[in-house]
Amino acid sequence: MRVRVYIGLGSNLSTPTEQLRNALAAIAALPQTALIAQSSLYISDPLGPADQPRYVNAVAALDTDLSPLALLDALQTIEQEQGRTRKAERWGPRTLDLDILLFGALQVDEPRLTVPHYHMHARAFVLYPLAEIAPHLRLPDGRALTELLSNCPFAGLERLNETSSI
């Protein structure tokens, strides 16, 4: 059954805009999955240790027949193919992060996967790109995205135009 899924993308290493554009192309090519929409790319101040480069973030909407864990496997394969290395430092820099933010109205609570993504409701670099492609969205708990946005200032964010690269 086709389910509407939202994915958060983030990178702050190895030409982040290229990482995100390549990841969006790889997501669009996933089996049993259609890429429905993608937000603009945003530059964002790092959350976590400040001594790391600024991030590029975006959100994509997909329709998929994959299960949550099959989609997670597919996204982790894309992360690894794009040379992701996991650093020891918590909340340190990364080549590519692909997070399942929402999977329809499903709530998933498994060792490998928590959906909705547990920090999404307070992160400007998730909420503003999400609002660009799904302004009327509600979370599975009934909260409207507009309500979350009203508590989350557009701070430390900068929308990139289509041709810019960092």
Distance from the first to the final alpha carbon of the chain:
38
Task: Judge whether 60 and 27 are in contact, CB under 8 Å.
Answer: yes
Give 67 or 164: the residue with its C-beta nearer to ligand ROI: 164
- Segment near ligand ROI (CB under 6 A), from 33-41, 44-52, 101-109, 128-136? 44-52
Task: Judge whether 103 and 68 are in contact, CB under 8 Å.
Answer: yes
Active site residues: 84, 94, 97, 99
Closest to 16 in 3D by CA, of 83, 105, 71, 96: 96
- Binds ligand ROI (CB under 6 A): choice among 7, 10, 62, 78: 10
Burial class (CB in 10 A: 0-12, 13-18, 19+), 97: middle
Q: Is 44 in the site for ligand ROI (CB under 6 A)?
A: yes
User: With contacts defined by CB under 6 A, how many residues of the chain interact with ligand ROI?
Assistant: 11
Q: Is 48 in the site for ligand ROI (CB under 6 A)?
A: yes
- Segment near ligand ROI (CB under 6 A), from 43-51, 66-74, 100-108, 146-154? 43-51
Sketch the per residue contact string, 99 through 138, with ligand ROI: x for CB under 6 A, - otherwise: --------------------------x-------------
Please give the structure tokens belonging to residue 80.
């690894």
Sketch the per residue contact string, 63 through 102, with ligand ROI: x for CB under 6 A, - otherwise: ----------------------------x-----x-----
List Cβ<8 Å contacts ≥24 apart for 145-152.
148/121, 148/122, 151/122, 152/122, 152/123, 152/124, 152/127
Rg for the chain (alpha carbons), in Å? 15
Residues that bind ligand ROI (CB under 6 A): 10, 44-48, 55, 57, 91, 97, 125
